[in-house]
Amino acid sequence: MISILRNREIRVLFTLMIGISAIGIILSAIINPVSGIIMFIFSSSLIFCTILFTSKRYKQIAKLSRYLRCIRNGEHSLDIRDNEEGELSILKNEIYKFTLMLSKQGEFLKKDKERLAEAISDISHQLKTPLTSIIVMTDLLSQHNLKPEKRMEFTKKIEVQLERMEWLLTSLLKLSKIDAGAVTFKTDKVLVSELIEKAMNPLLIPIELKQQDLVIEGDQRASFIGDFNWTIEAIINITKNCIEHTQNQGTISIFFEENPLYTEIKISDSGRGISREDLPRIFKRFYKGKNANEGSVGIGLAMAKSIIDNQNGHISVKSKENQGTQFSVKFYKKRK
């Protein structure tokens, strides 16, 4: 009772009610003493009921204030919802929904920070090896008695390491942007035959160097809704992996088709295959299987998976050791 009198509007309300009631009681008593007594009883009852219900309402408001203070201190597990009728219950439910949304945003920001810290850690770790090599070879180049052919060799090695660092940084930044949701994928109609032709251009030289056969077959009308350039990046990374794990004079095959449910691109090789224990992990970032090349950092397939997943797609792999590997990329027509 005393606490609600801190509110100015309550003090004014009670003053008016008591004043009006007192005037009514006095006038009634002057006209008729019995009427004055009845007026006193009804006025007192009315004031008592008003105090009772107002006090109850303000207790609920005070409870909401305590709840908000708890939320501010990080206690998001409290629940103030109720199923009663009235504006106060609606307000409680709306505040609960709002605090729940704030809680989820807080968790998202926390995970975002963790991903950022992890990405920075990954980049630092991956740059350590080429940087160490460059420092060592720079030190060797500073020797005055170094032979010209050795000087040329070390310079070439530094160039290779710098190119590797550039590729690594570019790839990691792209992957970090995709993971952070900072990439907006286009939703254009992509003709698969054009996509494959464009993706194969930078890979023709390594295929030729290894004297591998490239077989491309598929429905020329096959298409899907997606981002042309980002999907090229994914197809290049998958095919590059097949080329690297296939021996000289092996075969790289690409087949594509469209059906009412999805558009599928199959990329196969006749290489040494992926071991059973490596198979579930090959799309993890920086995972290198036991058959991985020396220069591999294990990022190409992780990036391909992120690109495909973000376009309502799915990538899977089948492989048998010494028989080859087949990647299947599906772009679904309806959201999964």
What's the CATH number where 175 sits?
Answer: 1.10.287.130
**Among 236, 156, 154, CA closest to 201:** 236
Same domain, 202 and 291: yes
Do 296 and 197 share a domain, yes or no? yes
Residues 286 and 304 in one domain: yes
Task: Using DSSP, state whether 329 is helix, strand or coil.
Answer: strand
Coil, strand or helix at 282: coil
Q: Are residues 211 and 159 in the same domain?
A: no
30 and 145 fall within a common domain: no
Q: Which domain holds residue 306?
A: 188-332
Residues 298 and 199 in one domain: yes
Do 324 and 208 reside in the same domain of the chain? yes
Buried b (16+ CB within 10 A) or exposed e, 243-274: bbbbeeebebbbbbebeeebbbbbbbbbbbbb
Q: What is the pTM of this model?
A: 0.64
Same domain, 199 and 316: yes
Q: What is the DSSP string of 203-272?
A: GHHHHHHTT-EEEEEE-TT-EEEE-HHHHHHHHHHHHHHHHHTS-TT-EEEEEEEE-SSEEEEEEEE-SS
pLDDT tens per residue across all 336 residues of the chain: 556 777 788 888 888 988 998 998 899 888 888 888 888 999 889 988 988 888 888 888 888 888 788 877 777 666 766 667 777 778 878 888 888 888 888 888 888 788 777 767 777 777 887 888 888 888 888 888 888 888 888 888 889 888 878 888 888 788 878 877 788 899 999 999 999 999 999 999 999 999 999 999 999 999 999 999 999 999 999 999 999 999 999 999 999 999 999 999 999 999 988 888 888 888 987 777 666 666 666 788 988 999 999 999 999 999 988 889 999 999 999 776
Q: Are residues 241 and 314 both part of a single domain?
A: yes
* Cα distance between residue 258 and residue 179, in whole Å: 28
Whether residue 51 sits in one domain with residue 130:
no
Same domain, 198 and 322: yes
